[in-house]
Amino acid sequence: MADQKKGLRILGWIVGILVLISGVFGFGSGVLYAIIVIIAGLLIIPPAHDLIAKKMGAKMALWPKWIVIVVLLIVAGYVQQ
């Protein structure tokens, strides 16, 4: 179980950084698009989940975070068009 959690954390870092990079390069497609993608990328990296949990004062489920990320990326896709 610990190996699976570590693997998911590493995957979160990789995907989060790739989304952040695409957001930075997305400024050519539009400022709003890039900002939305950067926010989604920041939410994907593992420290963001830890920060949100600390601010809320309780450990939260992962599914609300992923729903927000998916919605942000869908909105970014519509903004880019």
**DSSP result, 26-73:** GGGT-HHHHHHHHHHHHHHSHHHHHHHHHHHTS---HHHHHHHHHHHH
Q: When comparing pLDDT for 57 and 10, which is higher?
A: 10
CA pair distance 78, 7, nearest whole angstrom:
32
pLDDT higher than 80, residue 45: yes
Q: What's the one-letter identity of residue 8? A: L
Residue tagged 């919605």 (tokens): 71
Question: Which pLDDT value is given to residue 71?
Answer: 95
Q: What confidence category does residue 55 fall into, taking pLDDT thresholds of 50, 70 and 90?
A: confident
> What are the structural domain ranges in the chain?
2-80
Q: What is the pLDDT of residue 37?
A: 94
Q: How confident is the model at residue 54 (pLDDT cuts 50, 70, 90)?
A: confident
Backbone φ and ψ of 45, nearest 5°: -65, 140
> Looking at residue 46, what is its pLDDT?
85
